[in-house]
Structure 1
Amino acid sequence: MAEYVLDKYDRPMKDLRISVIDQCNFRCTYCMPKEIFGDDYSFMPESELLSFDEIVRLVEIFARFGTEKVRLTGGEPLMRKNIDELIYRIKQINGIKDVAITTNAVFLVRQAEKLKQAGLDRVNISLDAIEDDVFKETNGRGIKTKPVLRGIEAARDAGLPIKINMVVKKGMNESQILPMARYFKETGDTLRFIEFMDVGNHNGWNLDAVVSKKDIVQQINEEMPVEPVDPNYFGEVADRYRYKDGAGEIGIISSVTEAFCSSCTRVRLSADGKLFTCLFASEGYDIREMLRTDCSNEQIISYLIKIWTKRDDQYSIDRAKGKPVDKKIEMSYIGG
């Protein structure tokens, strides 16, 4: 399918992540801190969001570069009206092999079945604790785990593969590493631990709050022995470990202690059409303007080639070297 091969640095553009809405139905400490996203926060008007037609056009263009995976993010993507229609349209695009959603799962009770029918391949669900008292602290709104767990169950009943994402922050939820591992080992869902990262500028990040991949693996291995597994594909960000008793696996994303910038194959699109080549970028490239000023597909393709082939972002590596850091885009804006 691919007409253009963007292989500079041996990094094809395989994975497109699209934020379809900036709104969320509950706040999380990691990407939507309460001091910024209070109850009176003003989100984007609908006219600023990329339309489904615009998103589909861009995915068709990206597929010409060899993009195979599309993940819909937010905010909370399930708050975007008729999101199942967008999923169906993306799944019809030649070359797209995998369509996923990152969600906090609350709306999956009502939507899981129709999302599956539309062609959704899998769901990534954010859950930073299994015990209510800790989870209420992490989401900042006193919400218990039950709505999320019901959504996970609905996704499972619909036949959707599930990955659970837990951001681990020292002093907040590191006590949940083993309870989360025990719980999802029993359910058979893949649990991925994510080192607390300095995304955005308001999440109170400091290196002392990071629980490292090494520490996470050690904790789990002492109770539930694990062993490393080879990556599924080039650019896979999670280091995978399987339980030695055969009861599934876990993954760990370690962009703080073990940066993987050189193998990144991801590109991100904000809800209002800005393109970012790094989760830690300071500025994006305005693609929406090109869509709404009658630029041809070939003009957009030429622009994308320039963006990708000149990319030299390696924020996590630069951070480790102690290089100065510019102000970064917020996670709530760029998506996951």
Structure 2
Amino acid sequence: MLQDSFGRRFYYLRLSITDVCNFRCQYCLPDGYTCEHDRDFLTLAEIEKLAATFAQLGTEKIRITGGEPSLRKDLPDIIRRCKQTPGIKQVAITTNGFKLPEHLPAWLDAGLDAINISIDSLDPKQFQLITGHNKLATILTGIDQALAAPHLTVKVNTVLMRGFNGDHLAQFLAWVKDKPVSLRFIELMQTGDNATFFDQQHVSGDTIKQALLNQGWMPALKDKTAGPAQEFYHPEYAGKIGLIMPYSKDFCASCNRLRISSLGKLHLCLFAEQGHELRHLLANETATAIASEITALMADKKVSHFLQDRLTGATKHLAMLGG
């Protein structure tokens, strides 16, 4: 079992397979994707070896991210290889849902267990303003299809922004009233490229937490492989609400995930100063040898992401590592 020097255990790997994204979200890539390197992304064989390596180290859950992972045509094969890895109990993806109704059947056939879909507004005009695409209706149709799929866990991610959706809580609550989806509000995080936007738009999740508690919502229990969301349920609602508040006290104390970039670097934190090269090992070393190297690198993991000190590390924008 992977463990760092602070006693935290790591069951969960976020695996980026591309940093390309076709959306232009205001908080991430407002000017669109710009390629700053060769698009020599991890191959299917490399991904298979990484999955086997992390499974040896106790990883039980792999989340496939981007950029936008569905831009890779071999995404179903990637899902299938990860799912077939002994020891991996859950395979999930995070997607913008651009072609969700079209892609979902192939993902399900490959063995997908869980899906997170990004929707930052339920208003079509506001959604287009945030993302640069008029795709909300398509994505909502895809979500309904996902909810109808047996055994598929469906979550929706919403990045909180003061001037775009900061006062939309009532609209979102009405949406989950009869829809069995977990909707998670994510505090806007500062990255290397968005400092001014962050200062203008950051909203604390504490205000939403208090509003939920005042309306009778109650905290839900978490699984050991769950993400950092504080989740709440209400007996009169089919859906749940989660809050991801990276600026809250002791947020990093429950850290249980590591990240691999689409170029094969191990990132011990989303906001680490650098990634550690693993790709040269994937070609020639066994999974056991690579696992030993990863175990040794855990000594470099810090106690905190230090976002509260406005230190954003090497993360220029969230598409680099899939958030």
Q: In 1, are the aligned partners of 2:271 and 2:313 still within 8 Å (CA)?
A: no
Among 294, 304, 315, the residue aligned to 1:304: 294
Q: Residue 162 in 1 paired to residue 159 in 2?
A: no
Match of 1:328? 315
3-state DSSP of counterpart to 2:233: strand
Q: In 2, are the aligned partners of 1:106 and 1:151 still within 8 Å (CA)?
A: no
Q: In 1, are the aligned partners of 2:176 and 2:237 still within 8 Å (CA)?
A: no
3-state DSSP of counterpart to 1:146: helix
Query: Could you report, residue by residue, the CA deviation over 1:168-225 in whole angstroms, capped at 9, with x for unpaired residues?
Result: 0112221222212211232221101111111343363445632222211234455x53
Structure 1 pair 327/89, CA: closer, same or farther in 2 (3 Å)?
Answer: closer
3-state DSSP of counterpart to 1:335: coil
Identical amino acids, percent of aligned pairs: 33
After TM superposition, the structure 1 stretch with the greater mean CA deviation from structure 2, 244-253 or 90-99, is 244-253
Q: In 1, are the aligned partners of 2:2 and 2:295 still within 8 Å (CA)?
A: no
- Between the two structures, name the one with larger relative contact order (CA 8 Å, sep ≥ 6): 2
Query: Could you report, residue by residue, the CA deviation over 1:280-300 in whole angstroms, capped at 9, with x for unpaired residues?
Result: 1221011112224x2343432
Q: TM-score, normalised by structure 1?
A: 0.88
Q: For 1:81-230, what aligned pairs fall within 5 Å after superposition?
A: 81-139=73-131, 141-159=132-150, 160-202=152-194, 204-206=196-198, 209-221=201-213, 224-230=215-221
3-state DSSP of counterpart to 2:319: helix
Structure 1 pair 89/319, CA: closer, same or farther in 2 (3 Å)?
Answer: closer
Cα RMSD, aligned residues only: 2.3
**Per-residue deviation, 1:244:** 3.6
Q: Residue 286 in 1 paired to residue 277 in 2?
A: yes
After TM superposition, the structure 1 stretch with the greater mean CA deviation from structure 2, 192-201 or 68-77, is 192-201
Structure 1 pair 149/62, CA: closer, same or farther in 2 (3 Å)?
Answer: same
Among 48, 52, 56, the residue aligned to 1:56: 48
Match of 2:233? 242
Match of 1:73? 65
Q: TM-score, normalised by structure 2?
A: 0.91
CA distance in 2, matches of 1:126, 1:78: 13
CA distance in 2, matches of 1:82, 1:54: 13
Match of 1:261? 252
3-state DSSP of counterpart to 1:241: strand
CA distance in 1, matches of 2:310, 2:29: 26
CA distance in 1, matches of 2:315, 2:97: 27
Q: In 2, are the aligned partners of 1:70 and 1:98 still within 8 Å (CA)?
A: yes
Structure 1 pair 203/108, CA: closer, same or farther in 2 (3 Å)?
Answer: farther
CA distance in 2, matches of 1:324, 1:102: 25
Unaligned runs of 5+ in 1: none
CA distance in 1, matches of 2:237, 2:121: 24
